[in-house]
Amino acid sequence: MVNQTISHYSIQEHICNGGFGEIYRAEDKNLKRQVALKLLPQSMSHNPEIKTRFIYEAQAVSTLDHNNICTIYEVGETEEKQLFIAMAYYKGHTLKKIIEKKTLKIEEIIDITCQIAKGLARAHKAQIIHRDIKPANIIITEDNEVKILDFGIAKCSNQSMQNHQDCIMGTMAYMSPEQLQNNNIDHRSDIWSLGVVLYEMITGKLPFKGEYEQSIAYEILNKEPDLISVFKSNIPISLKWILEKTLAKEPDHRYQHIDEIPVDLKVLQSKNQAISEIMVNSKDFKKRTRRIEGLLLFCTAGIVSLLIFIFFNLLK
């Protein structure tokens, strides 16, 4: 596909595989800008259900209009009846690549989580459940803005699914227990997935893992993840509590609304800043104290020397 032209888009580079399609970097020849072009494979173009879902993704995302959600420019069809979605192209890296390359600071983790939560809150308000929140679907731009990508398997909370297979689509390691069990899911399933992403940002590891999908599913349904303190020391207790609340296996025991998470994280952040200021002030106080002690010691030594000098002069 590279170097080919679709509609008024000149394809320049293959980026990745997305939900229901290949994603390319392309140039919009009309507006002279870079775009991300998502193409529905021709092998799927004759499947009415997949075709409908592909169009639904474009329609769903285009209505959201939020800073933390990717921008959709248009949905179109080639002369060969191949569907495509043109989206904004963001310079940056996926959260997956960032986690692989470096250890994130607590402040960075809080900021990224809050931005993801705000984007999802907008989607949930529109009755849209993403169903595939994971680091590979999160872009961190060069300006440190979070963009949620790939609503390819999103569903409306009131949308009936047409078959069993469709209901359990997603990425196994990030699926909620109810999604795995093919139960009715709501926005709290995205909250679980965000909890998995939060755990991964803190530890660099997945909370539920295994060599096979069946073993991962068993862990999700029956096991508790390793304590984050095993991987990272000095984790605030309140962050552990937030994480536990996002990863509660029963939806009723989780956060009930995604926008509750940034509130708790901001409280945690303010407490951390207060503690940091206390520590800094404490260090400054100790430095000033040591300086004063040194000055007093110097002055005392000078006075003693002067008194000794006067004493010996009087003896003469």
Contacting residues for 112 by C-beta, under 8 A, at least 6 apart: 95, 104, 138, 140, 146, 201
**Interstrand relation of 9-18 and 155-156 (parallel, antiparallel or unpaired):** unpaired
Determine the residue type at 158: N
Contacting residues for 16 by C-beta, under 8 A, at least 6 apart: 22, 23, 136
Q: Are 146 and 119 in contact (CB under 8 A)?
A: yes
Q: What's the burial of 96, exposed, middle or buried (CB within 10 Å: 0-12/13-18/19+)?
A: middle
The reply to whether 49 belongs to the active site is: no
DSSP-derived letter for residue 66 is -
Q: Whose CA is closest to 5, among 26, 19, 20, 33?
A: 26
What is the spatial distance between Cα 310 and Cα 188, in angstroms, rounded to a whole number? 84
CA distances from 187 to 122, 128, 151, 158, 211 (A): 11, 8, 14, 11, 29
Which of 79, 80, 142, 211 is catalytic? The answer is 142
DSSP-derived letter for residue 152 is T
Q: Which residues are catalytic?
A: 142
